[in-house]
Amino acid sequence: MYVAIKYKKNKTSILIPMRSINDGKTRLSNLLSPESRAKLIKLLLTQLLEKLKTLKVEFPLIFSDILVITPCDEVEKICNAFDIIILKEQNLNGLNSALRKGLSWSLENFYDSSLIIPGDIIDPNSEDIKKILEIGKNSPESMIICPSSDFGTNALFLTLPTKINLQFGPNSFFEHQKEATKRSIETIIAPLDSLKDDLDTGKDLKMLKTKKPSFFKTI
């Protein structure tokens, strides 16, 4: 139950959940060594943070802060190179639990909206991230969702406080829409090309090799 508090207008947090690097991308274990998987995870996160940093410089009012929710010391080291807030959580019970922590932190710190985005998007561009932020700010009564290519959720904009119970997992694109309908919240679908692909499968790995060949020079 969230209490009514005074929010600051146009104060948006970007939430990036990151599990331990050593536990990530196990579906690629037959294709990549643990060391190679860890390197790719670090490269993808760094790429996203660089895009967000550029966006913040070019459009300083587009969002306020980036919050990374993680139990991982290595992720924390990467974030320390950027202007990033770290929510260090050791006892998280899955992705939705981590993100609920991030939303609660945002509420407690007077943000009026949050954009959830994963740290493993293959080729994000700043313009698409800007688009979903602008749609959200112009539609404060709606939930804005960007589907992934396999019908997951690769970006989710929520006005705070939210009645939405997060549904990240298989087919979350549909599950989030069901949740919004149940809560009488309008859904706006934002199919943004650069945000639809993340790294999970062998097919995704082939795409990453095509789009980011430089990532594989040291792997």
- Per-residue pLDDT, averaged over 53-57, amounts to 93
Terminal CA-CA length for the chain:
47
Q: How far apart are CA 134 and CA 130, in angstroms?
A: 6
11-23 average pLDDT score: 94
CA distances 72 to 56, 69, 183, Å, are 25, 9, 34
Phi-psi region of 25 (alpha: psi -120 to 50; beta: other; left: phi over 0): left
Asked if the model's pLDDT at residue 163 lies above 60, the reply is yes
Which candidate, 188, 13, 208, places its Cα nearest to that of 102? 13
Task: Give CA separation, 133 vs 59, 70, 139, 165, 189, in Å.
Answer: 11, 23, 10, 20, 13
What mean pLDDT value characterizes the chain? 93
Number of residues in the chain: 219
9 band by pLDDT with thresholds 50, 70 and 90: low
Sheet of 65-70, strand order: 85-88, 65-70, 12-17, 113-116, 153-159, 142-147, 186-189
Q: Is 13 helix (H, G, I), strand (E, B) or coil?
A: strand
Cis peptide upstream of residue 161 (ω within 30 degrees of 0): yes
**93 — pLDDT class (breaks 50, 70, 90):** confident
- How far apart are the C-alpha atoms of 132 and 144, rounded to whole Å? 7
pLDDT tens-digit series, residues 111-162: 999 999 999 999 999 999 999 999 999 999 999 999 999 999 999 999 999 9
Q: How many CA atoms lie within 13 A of 87 on its CB side?
A: 25
Scanning the chain, the segments in alpha helix (DSSP H) are 34-58, 73-79, 95-108, 126-138, 172-182, 202-211
Q: 12-216 architecture in CATH?
A: Alpha-Beta Complex (3.90)
